[in-house]
Amino acid sequence: MKQRSTATDRIPEATSRLAACTDFVLSNPGRYALFLDVDGTLIELADTPEAVIVPDGLIALLQRLALGLDGAMAIVTGRLISDIDHLLSPLRLAAAGVHGAEMRLDPDLEIERVTAGLPDEIIQTMRKLALDIPGVIAEPKGGGLALHYRLAPDAEREILAALTAAIERHAGALELVPGKKIFEVVPSGLSKGTALAKLATLPAFRNRIPIMIGDDVGDEPAFAVAEGLKGFGLRVAGEHHPPDIADFPGPSAVMCWLDQLSHRLPAAGKLHSLS
């Protein structure tokens, strides 16, 4: 069974990384593309996925950025794209959901499922864990599930052992993605990194420097792809990235930085906030 690494001890000079990225975007307004995680990056985490609160001004800010970047901005999330649409309504953006298992290559296009759903055995194992362990919540994700255990932190080892055993029976076809009090199972070969690589080939994003902002284990493949394309992977502090290696202390700092960028874009003066 594959499990994505949670190691963070090799991330160098976080403040220097953010400074270099800021210098680039301020010197080259409109020549970059933004790829943004949501939970823990743009909005604060909550005990359950439904309990998150979208900060005042976030939707209008994202609209300004999307227009100012001529569409070169996408959401790259572990959530369903339809959930993101609900959170950010009426704004629709290019997006990758469920760690690349869903894609919407243009805001005006339909959501496409990239792969088949998880095997029934995995789904049933995850549902049983949610039923048997008080506080564990199963979040539907199209053809799959995620298990949240923020309300049952002592259950981590039990959940991990059960999912590991179930996945190992599928001969490397599945991968376990741990996160901030969450476990997800995805098909091997899909990640936020593969999603970013696909989005980066689209006309709106082509020939731009990618900037990925995220906060969790699942964002690491996207950081690697962005940096491999001579771009930047910016980390938000939290349970995965300690403050001393993170670029932002939390989502409010990300919003502040993005707001500063939005006012430096060439078309910024022509934009209007959502009503």
Query: Which residues belong to the active site?
Result: 37
The DSSP call for residue 236 is B
**CA 255 to centroid of chain Cα atoms:** 15
Contacts of 221 (CB under 8 A, 6+ apart): 4, 191, 192, 193, 194
- CA 124 – CA 13 distance, rounded (Å): 44
Closest CA relative to residue 93, chosen from 48, 144, 35, 46: 35
What are the φ and ψ backbone dihedral angles of 67, each rounded to 5 degrees?
-70, -45
β-strands 137-141, 102-104: how paired? unpaired
Residue written as token pair 């901030």: 180
